[in-house]
Structure 1
Amino acid sequence: MAEKILSASDIEHIRARGTTEEKVLRQIDLCRLGAVTVTLERPATVGDGIIRVAGGERESLVALHDEAARAGRFLKFVP
């Protein structure tokens, strides 16, 4: 039998915040399992893994980011 870790009160709070039990349980699993470590070859620089955004592109790229964020299509951004 699966371990029940969310109470009825938890579920009510989760739904009130506009998310789902499944998303919260995935986040809990990520915390339990820990992060996968990666060994980097070198730092990213402009032209080698990083592109410089031209001023005219900024607005449309910010709109794409906002849309992806609302849809939950990324986990984290590390500047």
Structure 2
Amino acid sequence: MPRKTKKQKILASLHKQNLFTANAAIEKEPEAVKSTPKIFQPIIKSPEHSFFFSDLKKSLILTSIVVALEITLYFARLIK
């Protein structure tokens, strides 16, 4: 296929611009007709943050129990 010349490129870009402006003018009319009222709903804070410290405390207690159990089992094996 032969390449486009400068004149053909300019004509193609002008044609493309004309199509976009024609489509934009047609599409703007229905948007003016479609006017729906926006309904704002209040933001509700989720309770996820309220349980953070209680979950943190429980996990720290469980990990300390596991570590203490491992240490006691280690020393129990050494004594035998």
Higher relative contact order (CA 8 A, sep 6+): 1
Give the TM-score of the pair, scaled to structure 2: 0.22
**Larger helix proportion of the pair:** 2
Give the TM-score of the pair, scaled to structure 1: 0.22
Q: In terms of Rg, which structure is larger?
A: 2
**Larger strand proportion of the pair:** 1
